[in-house]
A and B are shown apart, each in its own frame.
Chain A
Amino acid sequence: MFDNDKIIWFDCCCPIYSFITKWRYVLRYSNRFWKFFVSVKLTVVLLLSLAVTSIVGTVIPQNENPAAYFRAYGEFVYKLFDLLGIFDMYHSWWFQLLILLLTINIVVCSIDRLSATWKIIFVKNPSFNLSRFRTLSQKEVFTGKQNPKELSTVYETVISRQFGYTRVEETDKGLCIFAEKWRWTRFGVYIVHFSVILLLLGGLIGSLFGFEGFAIIPEDEKIDSIRIRNTGQVRSLGFEVLCDDFNISFYDNGTPKEYRSSLTIIEHGKPVHKKDIIVNDPLRYKGINIFQSSYGKMPSGTLQNKKIHKKDPPEDITLNFASKKSGKAYKIKAVIGKPVDIPEGLGKFVIIEYRKSADFGGQNIGQTYMGILTPKDKDPVNIMLPLHFPNFDKMRRGAVVISVAEQKTKIFNPGEKSNQRYYTGLQITKDPGVWVVYTGFIGMIIGIFITFFMSHQRLCIEIVKRGKKSDVIITGTANKNKLAMQDRIKKISEKLINL
């Protein structure tokens, strides 16, 4: 009766208890969910699926121009692949789903086993099962010259040097020394799995709160915003980056040795940070990293004249229209102010002016045609066609990519620096998740090392009285690498014989 009352009391009045019962209730109903995700069979299936599907993205180039895909695969396959997200497969819903399933799998599996492992790991007085040790087939046996009591005190001091925990117990036949070490290494595998989760989490943080962009800065100029890769959006940095100087040096055989940009960070009009960056040695400021990524030569003329000139365009302008739908490209001659019809009914385009040096998001992009594109049934858009960045219009992701064909640029000649003005190409990124990922990296290495190469070792030295002498029987177990444990027992036995 009393017990029953107590339970009822707990049930109504103790919030923790009722929480647990409710939780159980939920658990029972999500039992199928749990059973599904707790299985290592699922892990094997998921890991193999990830391995196999990942191959696809290495065979089919990722994130290329749709027109190129269209040309390469034809309409039907293109549409099919596009639907399946094959052209950006590592970010497609089904690949992300596989990763999500793996994550749930790890979490569920870890929780499930952790409760059991926890009890094994955190015990004050480890229990030893003497009869289990006695049944072990591999044992070292010898005869000690003293009685069990004397031997055990000698042995215990020796053993305690190697093992963290020792205990002497009386048995039915004499004495027994138990020893063990590295119980905590049973935890290693959880460190590995937790690290996997950290890696994924860090990646998620990075993709949610970070960005990856690029900027081009001519020498002696500065920018305060960058272009985001893939989307082409402009993003403000919150400070300015000034390129004081760009230098390139070469080995004797002509291969590049070093690209070096001297950068200054300017905040509120004041220089706050200065650094020369080279590949592999970026500048980091306020969580934003600036990497040396490319370089180039400014078109001549911009050095002397940075003003906008409206009226001295090159005579011949040939425009290139690449249709995304058909993948075809059309070359058409154009004159400023005179609209041209784009083939395939893609609309009209007119060049309205030529600038010797145009500005885009705070960057100087050199000689540029400004134009207006009027797609069919849509509002006109402003288009910039910089001569030196033929892929510039791709970033707009429109139905047609417009560029200037047949530009007459000089071929770049390395080493020639006189009077030459360079621009530096910078990769600018922010990734707040990177420290989570790095923690995962370290955890993974440590965890794998512990899991593979350390084991929970238990030793049992039984000393049985036989007249004035004693029989000594040494056995031991390890949760991993049992062969090495046999060796260790042999060594210990050799040591103890000679005492």
Chain B
Amino acid sequence: MNSSVLLSITTFTYGLAAFLYIASWVFKKPLSGRLAFWVALIGVVGNTAGIIMRWVESYRLGIGHAPLSNMYESLVFFSWTIVIIYLVIERQYKNAVIGAFATPIAFLAMAYASMSPNVSDRIQPLIPALKSNWLIAHVITCFLGYAGFAVAFCFSLMYLVRTLTNLNLFSIQGRLARSKYLNLNIIMLIFNSFLAVICLIVYKLISFKTVYIIIAIFFLLLIQSLQLLIYFFQSIKRLHDLDRPGSHLLLSLIPIYNIYFNLVLLFKEGTRDVNQYGHPDQYSDDTAIGLLGILPIRRILDELTHQMVMFGFLFLSIGIITGAVWANSAWGSYWSWDPKETWSLITWFVYATFLHARMMRGWSGKRIAYLSILGFMAVIFTYFGVNLLPGLHSYGLG
């Protein structure tokens, strides 16, 4: 067995853990959650062994270096840190629901690393510029930071999910507050991005038989039409909130105007008092029941987000700094505004905004969750998107 095989097995182990965590949440089976913990732990062990084996293998090939030198290796390390951070948190807060959000990210990162054709899992020799201990420090700290932000993102997402208390997905009765509607939209957007990544991986992975393709398309259509239905129902309730009949939803078929229309749906405050469709939608409280009730209460989610962002911010700062020191030792300038550098700085600015907004302006809850999600988007772009931009940063390409 070589490291690639082991890491592929790890990928599936994380997938299983994610599945069990989600099942434990959705079907309210604590046993499944406890099982998931052990599966995730086995995954971590496999992940660790895989990293070490890869290190050893590189020495056998005569090009020994720490396994942190390309996209594949950094993604593997990233998943490893996410799961470890998550398991520590689970031990501390004794709430397995968090895993339903955290382990899928680790699974996706691993799956993308092992299966995307854009990412090569070959052990490559180091080009001269990458031979530096600063680089190792840089990669490790950056990814610790990213992992912290990823977990913070999970908490923020859970926060948004939790604000949807008392939301009946399949009814058009009554009214819907704008913030709930907005949060629902954000959640659907994130869900669809995840789905897109999964589809991409699966599509590239297997050369399909026609049957499978038809089944897959059928499933996707099912999911999408379900979403469309939900969206349709909620938009009608949102219109009620604005004291307008649901039939106004037809206005969204008018091109150009529908942009304005959607902005109104997202951001316009509903009528203050009782209107013909009922009382204003009280958009939040912590008396949630059912699926949402199992999630940690919002105050704790808020606090956990903040803690993970602090963890991430410390390590991102160290990461940027060690990167600068490395650049200075390799090409004599610690900062040159290349896109990768700039994007990590942008990420840093977003999280600095987060910290100040929270500490000094007293922001909390929803707005903090939005900032944390925005920050994680910046992280993702720093990592994957920058390769699409013109630039010099050779590192990070497959």
Could you tell me which A residues sit within 8 Å of B by CB distance?
A: 40-41, 43-44, 47-48, 50-51, 54-55, 57-59, 61-62, 90, 203, 212, 251, 253, 255-259, 278-282, 289, 291-293, 427-429, 431, 434, 437-438, 441, 444-445, 448-449, 452-453, 481, 483
Q: Specify the chain A residue showing the minimal Cβ separation from B321.
A: A441
Set of chain B residues within 8 Å of A54, measured between Cβ atoms: 342, 345-346, 349
Given contacts A57-B337, A281-B329, A429-B332, contact A47 B353 (CB under 8 A): yes
Cα(A220)–Cα(B224), bound, Å: 70
What is the minimal beta-carbon distance from B102 to any residue of chain A, in angstroms?
A: 20
In contact, B332 and A441 (Cβ under 8 angstroms): no
Main secondary structure on B side of the interface with A = helix
Residue B333 is within 8 A (CB to CB) of chain A in the complex = yes
Q: Which of A51, A255, A279, A293 contacts B346 (CB 8 A)?
A: A51
Could you tell me which B residues sit within 8 Å of A by CB distance?
A: 63, 124-125, 127-129, 131-132, 303, 307, 310-311, 313-314, 317-318, 321, 324-326, 328-335, 337, 339, 342-343, 345-346, 349-350, 352-353, 356-357, 360-361, 378, 386, 389-391
In contact, A448 and B314 (Cβ under 8 angstroms): yes
Most chain A beta-carbon neighbours within 10 Å: one of B324, B331, B356:
B331
Q: Specify the chain A residue showing the minimal Cβ separation from B141.
A: A445
Q: Specify the chain A residue showing the minimal Cβ separation from B128.
A: A279
In contact, B63 and A251 (Cβ under 8 angstroms): yes
Most chain B beta-carbon neighbours within 10 Å: one of A58, A428, A445, A453:
A58
Given contacts A279-B131, A280-B128, A444-B317, contact A55 B346 (CB under 8 A): yes
Q: Which of B127, B317, B324, B353 contacts A256 (CB 8 A)?
A: B127
In contact, A441 and B356 (Cβ under 8 angstroms): no
What is the minimal beta-carbon distance from B372 to any residue of chain A, in angstroms?
A: 14
Give me 6 other A-B pairs in contact (C-beta within 8 A), A203-B335, A437-B324 excluded: A40-B356, A212-B332, A256-B128, A434-B328, A445-B321, A448-B314
In contact, A441 and B324 (Cβ under 8 angstroms): yes
In contact, B360 and A40 (Cβ under 8 angstroms): yes
Given contacts A282-B329, A444-B321, contact A48 B353 (CB under 8 A): yes
Cα(A37)–Cα(B192), bound, Å: 42
In contact, A291 and B330 (Cβ under 8 angstroms): yes
Q: Which of A44, A253, A445 contacts B125 (CB 8 A)?
A: A253
What is the minimal beta-carbon distance from A427 to any residue of chain B, in angstroms?
A: 5
What is the minimal beta-carbon distance from B223 to any residue of chain A, in angstroms?
A: 32
What is the minimal beta-carbon distance from B352 to any residue of chain A, in angstroms?
A: 5
Cα(A448)–Cα(B311), bound, Å: 10
In contact, B317 and A448 (Cβ under 8 angstroms): yes
Cα(A437)–Cα(B334), bound, Å: 9
In contact, B352 and A47 (Cβ under 8 angstroms): yes
Q: Which of B311, B329, B343, B386 contacts A280 (CB 8 A)?
A: B329
Cα(A449)–Cα(B125), bound, Å: 36
What is the minimal beta-carbon distance from B30 to any residue of chain A, in angstroms?
A: 24
In contact, A427 and B342 (Cβ under 8 angstroms): no
Given contacts A50-B349, A59-B389, contact A429 B333 (CB under 8 A): yes
What is the minimal beta-carbon distance from B134 to any residue of chain A, in angstroms?
A: 8
